[in-house]
Every structure is written in C-alpha cells, then in structure tokens.
Structure 1
Amino acid sequence: MDELKPRPANSSPFTPLGFLERAATVYGDCPSVVYNTTTYTWAQTHRRCLQVASSLVSLGIKRGHVVSVVAPNVPAMYELHFAVPMAGAILNTVNTRLDARTISVLLRHSESKLIFVDSLSTSLVLESLSLFPSNVHRPRLVLITDDADADADADDKASSPTVDFFTTYEGMMMNGDERFKWIRPESEWDPMILNYTSGTTSSPKGVVHCHRGIFVITVDSLIEWSVPKQPVYLWTLPMFHANGWSFPWGMAAVGGTNICLRKLDASTVYSLIHKHNVTHMCGAPVVLNMLCNSPNNDPLKNPVQIMTAGAPPPAAVLSRTEALGFEVTHGYGLTETGGLVVSCAWKRQWNKLPATERARLKARQGVRTIGMTAVDVVDPDTGLSVKRDGLSLGEIVLRGGCLMLGYLRDPVGTSKCMRDDGWFYTGDVGVMHPDGYLEIKDRSKDVIISGGENLSSVEVESVLYMNPSVNEAAVVARPDEFWGETPCAFVSLKTTESTQKSPTEKDIIEFCRARLPHYMVPKTVVFKDELPKTSTGKIQKFVLREIAKAMGPSKRAASRM
C-alpha cells in the first residue's frame, strides 16, 4: 500500500465552479435565470460567465485580487459568483444596506481592485469612495444597468452619475471571449470568497473562504435539504448574505431555475411562487413573518420548501408558516462556515405530534450536517462538553471542512476563535438536548441579529456616546415580532441645568439615524438614572437583556425607568 499515493489524475482541487460547466452540458437548454421578462438557459449563463471572466483578466485582474459587487439579487449578481473566481480573483459581495462610511472602510480593508455597482447603488458607492484618503488608490467601477426595473424611482435613475463608470456589465460581457479557459485554482485551499461579518467599522472581520470549503458547504447543503434535480428556487435571501448560503453554486449543481427579484415584499413573493411554480426558497425568520402577515397569504396550492436561519425563529411563526403550506427547515450557520452546518433533521414520527410540539422541536437548531466533522456545546473555560440536559449553557463550537481559512489580515482574531484544541469557537451560547439536538439560547454579548443582519452593539454604543447629553449607554437585543430582534438602548443622561431640555427618545433615535445604517439604529430608548454595574464598574448587560425581554415586542413609545 505504501506506493499508492496521490497523483494528478486523482487529486484535482475541489471547486464549485465546475458545477456551471456541467450544468451547461446536462441542462444547457433548460432555464437557469429568470428575471422579469428576461430568461437565460444554462448554456447562456455559462457563456456569459466565461465572457465576463475573460474581460476581467483583460483588465489586469489577477489571482488573489479582490473584486467587489454592490447589487441586489439581479442576474449579474448571480453570474459574478462564477465569473469573478473563474478569473482567478476573490469575490466580495457587499451588503447594500450598509452606509457609505462603512462600505468605504470595507473596500479599503479588502483592497478591492474593481467594483461592480448596481444602477440604484451608484450614489452610495461614489460617496463611499469620496471618503478614501487621497493617497489610497480607488478601484475602477463597472455599472450594472437594469432596463427591466420599471418600478425604480425615475429621479434615482436620472441622477446616476454614469461618467464615473468606465464600462457597463453588459459591455464587459459582450467584449469577453466565450472560449475563455477559466483559471482553475492551483490548490483547493486558494482563496475564493471574502465576506464581512457585519457593518462594524472599528474592526472589520473579513472572512476568507477557499474553493474547497465552498465546494464542501455547497454539496453538504444540497444533501441536507434533499434538493432534487431541477428545482425552481426563488431568491428571497440576499446573495450578499454569506453568498446566499451557498445556493448560487448549488443551483448550478442540480440544474435549478433561479428566480431573481430586486425587491422583497410579500405580494411579489406570492405572485412569483404561483407564476413559476416555485419549489424552494430561503430567508431569515423575518421573511417567514412577512409571509404570514401578508393579506395575500392564502394557503399554497403546492408545498414550498423554505430554509430559515439567521436568528432563532419563534415556534409560533414556524407554526403559522407551515399552516400556509410552506415546509420549513431550520438551520444554523455563520459567515465563517459559508452556510448552514447545523440543521433540525426531521424525523417522520414527529409528524404525528400536535402542531405546537412540532413547532417547538423545529425551533431547535438541530444536529450537525453530514459534511461537518463535529459540533458541540462546551464550557469555554475548560473546553469540556456541557451536560446533555437542555439546560446547561455553554459555547457552541464547530469542526469541519467548510470553515473559513481565517480573517483577512487579522491573525490575532483568527487564533482567538480557531484555537489549538481543534475547535472553532462561535461565541454563541447554547444547550445540548438529551437527544443530541442543539438549541441556541443566547448570542455573544456584542451581537444583535435583526432581520438576519448581524450588528455590533459596541458600534451603536460608540455613536450614542458621541451625543453630548449621554452619560452612559448600553445596547442589547429586544424581541420584535417582525425583525426577530431590534436594538434597545439603555441610556443615562448627564446632569444638566434645569433650564436645559433633556433629549427625548425621538432625539436620541434621530441622532443615531444620522450616523448609522437604519437597521443599526435603536428602535427603543430607555432612560435610567444609572445603568447597573458589577463591582468592578462594568455594565451588567445580562440584567439589561432581561429588562428588554420583559418589555415584550418593540413599541414606538418612549419609556422611563
């Protein structure tokens, strides 16, 4: 046996890019992408991606260069998941909900060489580039036009300063070589994807994934969700969210039809489900809640598989969603895992249980997917597993082939979470049930998940402290029936003269709105004479979390305590 070793014929690097090549052969005349009145086949999508990749190389894009894209779920966004790495470059999808200041920081940190910009995001990106220091090179811009977007605001279109763009996406595609030999990775460990975990500007966390990791999570996700050949997939999950949980590549692997949509609203979703006979879709719990609360929520004629993750969904929301005809699969993952690595693996005998009990079981995150090596809940100090009693809290740890290479230019941050004991420490708190199913009980102290968006409470607090009237500030998550969680700010004010008017809840919110992306702005402000502290002077956030939880779902009215 000693002479049997890896050879070139049996050790080709894993990469999900080959899925597109195969789709063009097997499903070449089948629909790949549908958007408004535009439909492409898999043969056309393959050719278009090769042409864009060819143009990128002709522009000087090389291995290891970062290419960014700021766009919603339009066809170009889908194609760039293949075209950019086919040019040997690293794809960076930017969250369109971020503000210009944050995007500017992320673009500089990534050293992006080129940015593809959707027509309705031009002013946002140009403002972010204007914040670059004069001695920092600015990336070139490519405009993604969208003539089919008839409902776009005419003033926005008219004000788009196209002079700042040296070409358009379609222009690059048409000028590219459809016979281009795409650049295969030299090693399956070559970087392929760069994603940022949140909108934090103080310490950007750029997650880098390799070809091997993306291949593993893509195949793993298809198997775990039991995705059949040629599904019809509706893009209700933003592709900039951890690359749509790997499904841009997954749909190519199974020859699916990608139904793209620019804006997410319940009436559009239901219309597209009926029009295209949608079979699969993904979304954060906020999407499930939106579908349940829509006036158009008549029960579906045919069941639709829906994967949800991003925040623990309330059992009541799961129950209402399934009553409409959606079959919900609940999972857990992070940007660092590239997709969902824990899933509530369903057992057929559970279907006989009452609806409330089924929803309770499905609200748990579940067990490791088959592509993961191990998942556990441990005491973060000792590293020992907690009791499997559904009560003992610990930190969720992971081990598997889809985990990130590490954080870009942050060896300290990488070593803190990927430790020598072989575990990746998520910072999430959970319990392990007697049947081996994992359930999240809390998030790491500085992270709030609102509508599937991770936001840093530390960054919101830093803005609150900029207000001259604020003495102390702490931000925690408050339950919200629509968003899952929203930021709740606890504030103590500085002592002022009686003649000086104290700021109101509205004043504090407006102050934050002028300095933060809207989804990071506190929805509730609670004024207190003094915030609770430990004996060493640290603010007791766990006390504030309990207060916010007891307050119930977010309300508009101010509260004083």
Structure 2
Amino acid sequence: MLSPWGKSNFQVIRPKDECDAISLNYTSGTTSSPKGVVYSHRGAYLNSLATVLLNEMHSSPTYLWTNPMFHCNGWCLIWGVTAIGGSNICLRNVTAKGIFDNICQHKVTHMGGAPTILNMIVNASDSEKKPLPGKVSFITGAAPPPAHVIKKMEELGFSMFHSYGLTETYGPGTVCAWKPEWDLLPSEEQAKMKARQGVNHIGIEEVAVKDPVTLRTLPADGVSMGEVVFRGNTVMNGYLKNPEATKESFKGGWFWSGDLGVKHPDGYIELKDRSKDIIISGGENISSIEVESVLFSHPCVLEAAVVARPDEYWGETACAFVKLKDGSKATAEEIISYCRGKLPHYMAPRSIVFEDLPKTSTGKVQKFVLRTKAMAMGSLSKKGTSKL
C-alpha cells in the first residue's frame, strides 16, 4: 500500500556522474572548527549497503533512531534501512524511558548510538527499564565505549556491535567482526574485544596504521602506535572550499584520521587516542581513552573525560572532568586513588573537576573546551620539584 506521504509518480533525478556530490555533512567540531565534508553518490550507495551488512540486518528490520540523521546522514542508515525495506522509529527527545518504551511498543530489532546513549541506557532507573521483547542489535561508534558498559548492555539483552569511522568516511569505516573463538573468553574479556575498532568493512579498500612522519606502515604487533589511515570508495571527496585541508588530509594517497592506534597481529585496529588528546607526562604517553575507561568503571561516575593539564615539571598531567551519578558522592582524592589502583601511577589523573561535560549536538564531548579550562588551571607542580 502506498504511504500517504509518498508519491507514486515521483521522478528520480539521477546524477550525471556517480562521483557527483549527494550531500554536505559537517564534522562534529570536537577537536577544532567543523569542516564541510562532501559525500558522493557512489560512496553513499556503497556505505549504505555496508552498514546493512555490518548491522547484520535482515529484511524489514525496525530501527530506533537515537543517533542524529544529520550526522553522517545517520551513518548512512537513512538510506540503508530504506533499501532493505525497514521501518524507522524516531524519538523527538532521547531519554532512557523513551528508548525502552519504543523498543517494547514497536518490537525494535536494531538501533545505534554514541557511547553517551549506552551510558544513558545502563544507568536508567528501575522504573524506566523494561525487559526487551527480543534481542536488539545495537551498533555504537564515536569514542571507544568502556568495556564494562558493553558488558552491562549485553546483560540487559542488547547484542553489541562496535564500529569506527569519521564524518570523512561516511560514518562507519571499520567494524569489530566477532570471532567464534572469543566465545570461550570470560565475559569481561569478551567486552574488551568488542571495544576494539576491528577491520575495514567492504566499502573501504584498506585501513592501516602508519607513522605520520615517515608514512611507513607500522607492524601489526599491538604495540607500535601510529595514525589510523583509510582509503577506498567510502572516503569523502574532500572538504568544501578548503583545498589546503583536503590536500593535507590525503597525504601519501591515504586519508589521515587524526586518531592514534595500534594494529594487533590478527589485523584488528584498536584506538588509543586522538592525536590532539594524547597526554605526554614526563616523556610517557598517556591514553585519555584508557584513563576514561577506568573512570567509567567507578561506581559513582556517570560521565568522564580526560585532557592534558600543563605542568612545569612533568610537561603535562592528566586532568579528569567528571560528572557523578545522581545521589552518588565521591571526592577527588577517592577517585584518584581508585585510578591509581587500576593504572600505572603516572597514568592516573592528578586533578579532578566535577561538572557537566560540554557536548556537541551529536552527543560527543567537546574536549577542546575542557582543554581550555585545564590550561587556565595552570600547573600543579613547580619547576624543579617532582611531587606526585
């Protein structure tokens, strides 16, 4: 039956060239000013099919939207769900109650969202939570989700898929494809594996980890850290009216993501940090992602973000901005002690700031705002001292 909003005589206007622009999408602006990213018909078509496959969608899925459609065209799922004859369930306001209510009412089979949505779901009150009517496949992207959050999601009945990409790669560019042998691992280890970024999907020709100076591909040893690079059909045409930034981002024939990571011997990528977010303290690299993962495991912590704070002795130290769960209490000293019990001493944050975290319209933490605040706080130690 024809939808009352459809037109049976709708005339499709096809592109003259499949590489012509289909849409303009802006980057989130988490690390710098947003840039206009030009998508092509070819790239959008291929990534739409890839997202259906990496979400393991069958015919007529029911997709619940919590990731904004304006962000990477909804990770290309606005086209992908349509291509497979699916139903779209849209939320005017994203709340934990709304998510559970709609899953139950519409028998949702698939959904996706940033780690902030995962956090919202696992920390929902008992009155908001409802038993799921069936397994709900949930694909998450953006920052690597803490392993314990993935574990809690699966305990609620969600089947988790972790993808990774950028606006410049039409959203998802890699997926942590599950290996049968991982079924034998303890649940905590399984969650850690699912938090990896994985391997490129069929729309991306290749993903690698390279030295940003020499452009050399680094060994897949799980240790050698470099910048994650992409090439393939589902990489942007370029930045709108910004040829300098386009040229810089495609040096050596690869798209340079700005994300630092390692490749494991099995070929799976694991992110360590944004190149702008890595903290260098006393000559040691501190991954803000690793510190944030520990902070999220603290029973009182709802949200956390870690940035560099300038230090006269160490160069930089880790500064954590933390939002506590409603009704929870924890001091800065308690949280620092907790981190020191789970991390090498130098990696633990030395300062804690309790406040709401600034976010973009897509739910990503605006770390450049937090870096400015940390910079204004000044140094903890004085030059010539080494107090920890």
Instruction: With the length of structure 2 as denominator, give the TM-score of the two structures.
Output: 0.74
State which of 97, 115, 129 in structure 2 corresponds to 1:285: 115
**2:268 is the counterpart of 1:437:** yes
Question: Partner residue of 1:486?
Answer: 305
Question: Partner residue of 1:207?
Answer: 37
Structure 2: which amino acid aligns with 1:437? Answer: Y
Q: How far apart, CA to CA, are the structure 2 residues paired with 1:379 and 1:417? A: 14
CA 1:201/1:323 → structure 2, altered by over 3 Å: closer, same or farther?
closer
Give per-residue Cα distances to partners, 1:231-279, cap 9 Å, x unaligned. 0100011112211100010111011010011111101100000000000
Q: How far apart, CA to CA, are the structure 2 residues paired with 1:368 and 1:217? A: 12
| Preserved contact between residue 261 and residue 269 of structure 2 (Cα < 8 Å) | yes
Question: Partner residue of 2:62?
Answer: 232
Give per-residue Cα distances to partners, 1:131-181, cap 9 Å, x unaligned. xxxxxxxxxxxxxxxxxxxxxxxxxxxxxxxxxxxxxxxxxxxxxxx7352
Q: How far apart, CA to CA, are the structure 2 residues paired with 1:254 and 1:391? A: 40
State which of 240, 245, 263 in structure 2 corresponds to 1:408: 240
Question: SS at 2:370's partner residue?
Answer: coil
Question: Partner residue of 1:547?
Answer: none
Structure 2: which amino acid aligns with 1:528? Answer: G
| Preserved contact between residue 31 and residue 276 of structure 2 (Cα < 8 Å) | no
Structure 2: which amino acid aligns with 1:335? Answer: T
CA 1:297/1:531 → structure 2, altered by over 3 Å: closer, same or farther?
same
Q: How far apart, CA to CA, are the structure 2 residues paired with 1:532 and 1:393? A: 31
Once the two structures are superposed, the pairs formed by residues 28-107 of structure 1 within 5 Å of their partners are 29=1, 43-47=3-7
State which of 221, 231, 249 in structure 2 corresponds to 1:417: 249
| Preserved contact between residue 208 and residue 406 of structure 1 (Cα < 8 Å) | yes
**2:86 is the counterpart of 1:261:** no
Question: Partner residue of 2:201?
Answer: 369
**2:378 is the counterpart of 1:528:** yes
| Preserved contact between residue 277 and residue 308 of structure 2 (Cα < 8 Å) | no
Question: SS at 1:268's partner residue?
Answer: helix
Question: Partner residue of 1:397?
Answer: 229
Question: SS at 2:174's partner residue?
Answer: strand
Give per-residue Cα distances to partners, 1:47-103, cap 9 Å, x unaligned. 2xxxxxxxxxxxxxxxxxxxxxxxxxxxxxxxxxxxxxxxxxxxxxxxxxxxxxxxx
Deviates further, 289-298 or 519-528: 519-528
1:199 offset after TM fit, Å? 3.7
Q: Which has the higher contact order (CA 8 A, sep 6+)?
A: 2
Which of 1 and 2 has greater Rg?
1
**2:149 is the counterpart of 1:300:** no
| Preserved contact between residue 299 and residue 323 of structure 1 (Cα < 8 Å) | no
Q: How far apart, CA to CA, are the structure 2 residues paired with 1:353 and 1:294? A: 28
Q: How far apart, CA to CA, are the structure 1 residues paired with 2:382 and 2:20? A: 48
Question: SS at 2:266's partner residue?
Answer: coil
State which of 332, 349, 352 in structure 1 corresponds to 2:181: 349
| Preserved contact between residue 398 and residue 424 of structure 1 (Cα < 8 Å) | yes
| Preserved contact between residue 142 and residue 364 of structure 2 (Cα < 8 Å) | no
CA 1:483/1:188 → structure 2, altered by over 3 Å: closer, same or farther?
farther
CA 1:531/1:284 → structure 2, altered by over 3 Å: closer, same or farther?
farther
Once the two structures are superposed, the pairs formed by residues 499-518 of structure 1 within 5 Å of their partners are none
1:518 offset after TM fit, Å? 11
1:522 offset after TM fit, Å? 3.5
Structure 2: which amino acid aligns with 1:193? Answer: S
Structure 2: which amino acid aligns with 1:316? Answer: H
State which of 174, 182, 186 in structure 1 corresponds to 2:16: 186
| Preserved contact between residue 313 and residue 484 of structure 1 (Cα < 8 Å) | no
1:220 offset after TM fit, Å? 1.1
Structure 1 alignment gaps of length 5 or more = 1-28, 30-41, 48-177, 449-475, 493-504, 534-560
1:491 offset after TM fit, Å? 7.3
CA 1:302/1:217 → structure 2, altered by over 3 Å: closer, same or farther?
same
Question: Partner residue of 2:77?
Answer: 247
Q: How far apart, CA to CA, are the structure 2 residues paired with 1:396 and 1:484? A: 26
Percent identity, please: 44
Question: Partner residue of 1:428?
Answer: 259
Structure 2 alignment gaps of length 5 or more = 280-287, 312-350
Give per-residue Cα distances to partners, 1:513-536, cap 9 Å, x unaligned. 9xxx99645397583347999xxx
Q: How far apart, CA to CA, are the structure 2 residues paired with 1:358 and 1:332? A: 18
Question: SS at 1:237's partner residue?
Answer: coil
Q: How far apart, CA to CA, are the structure 2 residues paired with 1:351 and 1:325? A: 17
| Preserved contact between residue 210 and residue 227 of structure 2 (Cα < 8 Å) | yes
Number of paired residues? 322
Question: SS at 2:265's partner residue?
Answer: coil
Question: SS at 2:82's partner residue?
Answer: helix
Judging by fraction of residues, say which structure has more helix: 1
| Preserved contact between residue 224 and residue 370 of structure 1 (Cα < 8 Å) | no
CA 1:532/1:326 → structure 2, altered by over 3 Å: closer, same or farther?
farther
Structure 2: which amino acid aligns with 1:486? Answer: A
Question: SS at 1:522's partner residue?
Answer: helix
| Preserved contact between residue 390 and residue 431 of structure 1 (Cα < 8 Å) | yes
Question: Partner residue of 1:338?
Answer: 170
Q: How far apart, CA to CA, are the structure 1 residues paired with 2:263 and 2:32? A: 34
Q: How far apart, CA to CA, are the structure 2 residues paired with 1:430 and 1:179? A: 50
